[in-house]
Amino acid sequence: MEHLDKLIDKEPVSFELGDGMRNCAQLMVTCLVDAIYPSVGISAVEVLEAQGITVEFPSDQTCCGQPAFNSGYWKDARAMARHTLDVFSVTNGPIVVPSGSCTDMIVHQYTELLKDDAEYLAKAQDVAGRTYEFTQFLVDKMGLDDVGARFRGRAAYHSSCHGLRGLNLREQPRVLLSHVEGLKQVELPCSEECCGFGGLFSVTMSSISGSILERKLDNLEESGADLLLGNDVSCLMHMAGGLKLRGTQIEVKHISEVLNTHD
């Protein structure tokens, strides 16, 4: 646990904002949470509010453009990136995203995508500099390790690839989960291996994707977990769909839902 303690250097909980506002964060909810898993967004908001953060939700937000970017439609992705930047560049304060891959898109790919567009490159740099994945925000930015959650279960945590390798989200979710009362974290064999989702890859090369998914679900079953957690609903939806087809009774939740449970 030494490395965990080292990680949390207890930054002050409050952070400075431009125009006199304090402790206010913007929520970029992501299109998948908005449409398929709204409860993840609600949980994220409630966890942040419980920490004294005022959450704002710019209602014109849509999709960060990652699906188009990853399938090679950069022109379309650029258009979506510009829209997202228009929505968030006029806001203040940190932008919190309950998804590692969408955060990585905004933080790392927008600048590549818009490198020839000076106006939007500047917006991209501003927005990238204050965008955080949900657990990254809680742990790295707010210096928290315990949000006072209670949840009974044996949880396996899946580190989604873009958050893991793009944002180095290794310990942050685990730190938070280690302080959840009643929650036992079990080792997921090959936990850093991809679940096979890969966006449109799961449709166009679905049998390869399915074969990777099978290995992931075998590992999950082997872990003895009754709960699968992660910080990207895309991968969670992929694995939940596989479990559903198998008929395996393992609950699937986004980490914010566990952190927002107190019973």
Partner 1 sequence: MTNLTFYERTRDALEDPTVNQAIRVGARRFVSHRASTVSGLPEMDRLRDRARVIRAETLNKLDVFLAEFADNVELNGGRVFWAKNADEANDYVVKLAEARGVRHVVKSKSMVTEEIELNHALEVAGVRVVESDLGEFIAQLAGERPSHIIAPVLHKTRGEVGELFEKELNVAYTEEPIALNDIARSHLRDIFLSSDMGISGVNFGVAESGTLSLVTNEGNGRFCTTTPRIHVALMGMERLVPTFADLGTMLPVLEISATGQRLTVYNNLLTGPRRSGEPDGPEELHVVILDNGRSDTLASEVAEILYCIRCGACLNICPVYQSIGGHAYGSVYPGPLGSVLTPTLMGLEQWHELPHASTLCGACKEICPVRIDIPSLLLRLRDASSKANHSPVWIRTLMRIYSIVARHPKLFQLGMRFASVSSRLFAKEDWLNRLPPPFNGWTDHRNFRALAKKSFGQQWAERRSTEHTS
137-196 residues in contact with partner 1 (CB under 8 A) are: 161-162, 164-166, 192-194, 196
Provide the β-strand partners of residue 174: none
Total residues belonging to the chain: 263
Distances (CA, A) of 204 to 31, 88, 213, 239, 263: 21, 32, 15, 17, 42
Residue choice 16, 36, 119, 126 for contact with partner 1 (CB under 8 A): 36
**116 near partner 1, rule: CB under 8 A:** no
**111 near partner 1, rule: CB under 8 A:** no
Q: How far is the CB of 158 from partner 1 (least distance, A)?
A: 12
Instruction: Decide whether 102 or 183 has the Cβ nearer to partner 1.
Output: 102
Query: How many residues lie near partner 1 (CB under 8 A)?
Result: 66
**71 near partner 1, rule: CB under 8 A:** yes
- What 3-state DSSP class applies to 206? helix
Instruction: Decide whether 162 or 180 has the Cβ nearer to partner 1.
Output: 162
CB 4 within 8 A of CB 35: no
Q: How far is the CB of 195 from partner 1 (least distance, A)?
A: 8
d(CA 108, CA 257) in angstroms, rounded, equals 27
**41 near partner 1, rule: CB under 8 A:** yes
The torsion angle over the Cα atoms of residues 197, 201, 207 and 213, rounded to 10 degrees, is -10
Instruction: Decide whether 176 or 194 has the Cβ nearer to partner 1.
Output: 194
Where do the H-state alpha helices sit in the chain? 2-7, 31-35, 38-50, 66-70, 74-89, 100-104, 110-113, 118-129, 134-136, 161, 172-178, 201-204, 206-223, 233-246, 255-259
Distances (CA, A) of 129 to 45, 115, 124, 223: 21, 16, 8, 37
Instruction: Decide whether 122 or 208 has the Cβ nearer to partner 1.
Output: 208
**83 near partner 1, rule: CB under 8 A:** yes
194-233 residues in contact with partner 1 (CB under 8 A) are: 194, 196-213, 215
Instruction: Decide whether 86 or 145 has the Cβ nearer to partner 1.
Output: 86
d(CA 45, CA 66) in angstroms, rounded, equals 23
Q: How far is the CB of 130 from partner 1 (least distance, A)?
A: 21
Give the number of other Cβ atoms within 10 Å of residue 182's Cβ: 11
Q: Which residues bind partner 1 (CB under 8 A)?
A: 29, 31, 33-39, 41-42, 57, 59-63, 65, 67-74, 76-77, 79-80, 83, 112, 161-162, 164-166, 192-194, 196-213, 215, 237-238, 240-242, 244-245
